[in-house]
Amino acid sequence: MKLTVLGYYGGYPFKGHGTTSFLLQEAGFNLLIDCGSNAVNELSQIINPLELDAVIISHYHHDHIADLGVLQYYWQLNSGKKKTPILPIYGNTQDPLNYARLTMQGVTEGKSFVDYQPLKVGLFEIEFLRTIHPVPTYAMRITADDKVLTFTADTDYFNELTKFAQDSDLLITDTNFDSMKSGRKWHMTAQESGELAKISNANQLLLSHLPQEIDHQILMNEAKTAKGDGNIQLASDGLIINI
């Protein structure tokens, strides 16, 4: 599997960099994971967006779907050759209004997933775990060719994540806070990201959904201390990880 970061901030774009989105590729299959702000522009630097095979959305907060309508317009209006006639977009049905928007007649088709049943999307088998977040949100464990990528999506830390992420080749964590954060939270701290990677025996850790007003090196240092080794990276536009 080959992962390319298209956006890595949480909440809102900042200084030319967009919000959460990743391109995952395996043997010619192109899967877009979330579609935050600036995702379509970043994607077009790598492949023609018409070459996507599928899109999957962790939840419907704007920083994860800001460019989804733009992507639909691209598919509707661009005269280029599409890899598939109608683009499937996978999402949860817990929010019926936003789920309905995944379908644009003749352009894209909304397809549902549930957390009690694995989903087969092309070459990828995807399992889901509902997370701790204000809206229905799902972590994803994606397997292909005996390699495992786990994406926590947006969430506070909770114990079930450890088993879900067990032995991941790559773990992508929602890392929106440093250790100074106190009180109720809907995202993890860098320390919690490092601890999750250590306890789950993840090989690589990628810190994403990063904050705009905290020095990212502080997050890196806290995650390294908690994980106990240096196999950690900060997400950045265009970063490629071969899993």
Domain-by-domain residue ranges, the chain?
2-242
Tokens 């050759």 locate to 81
Question: Residue 74's pLDDT band (boundaries 50, 70, 90)?
Answer: very high
Question: Residue 230's pLDDT band (boundaries 50, 70, 90)?
Answer: confident
Question: pLDDT tens digits for 28-68?
Answer: 999 999 999 999 999 999 999 999 999 999 999 999 999 99
Residue 70 C-beta-side C-alpha neighbours within 13 Å? 16
**For the chain, what is the mean pLDDT?**
97
pLDDT at 99: 98
Per-residue CA distances from 233 to 98, 161, 162, 203 (Å): 32, 20, 20, 12
Question: Residue 141's pLDDT band (boundaries 50, 70, 90)?
Answer: very high
Please answer whether residues 153 and 139 qualify as being in contact, where contact means their C-beta atoms are separated by less than 8 angstroms. yes
How many CB atoms neighbour CB 181 within 10 A? 17
Q: What DSSP string runs through 129-147?
A: EE-SSSS--EEEEEEETTE
C-alpha–C-alpha distance, residues 155 and 126, integer Å: 18
Kindly state the greatest CA–CA separation across the chain: 51
pLDDT at 240: 98
Determine the residue type at 243. Answer: I
CATH fold of the domain at 2-242:
Metallo-beta-lactamase; Chain A (3.60.15)
CA-closest candidate to residue 20, choices 227, 208, 220: 208
pLDDT at 182: 87
pLDDT at 26: 98
Per-residue CA distances from 98 to 90, 111, 126 (Å): 12, 12, 21
Question: pLDDT tens digits for 177-228?
Answer: 999 998 889 999 999 999 999 999 999 999 999 999 999 999 999 999 999 9
C-alpha–C-alpha distance, residues 108 and 87, integer Å: 5
**pTM of the shown model:** 0.98
Q: Is the pLDDT of residue 229 over 90?
A: no
Per-residue CA distances from 30 to 194, 223, 224, 230, 233 (Å): 29, 30, 31, 29, 23
What tokens were used for 112? 């549902």
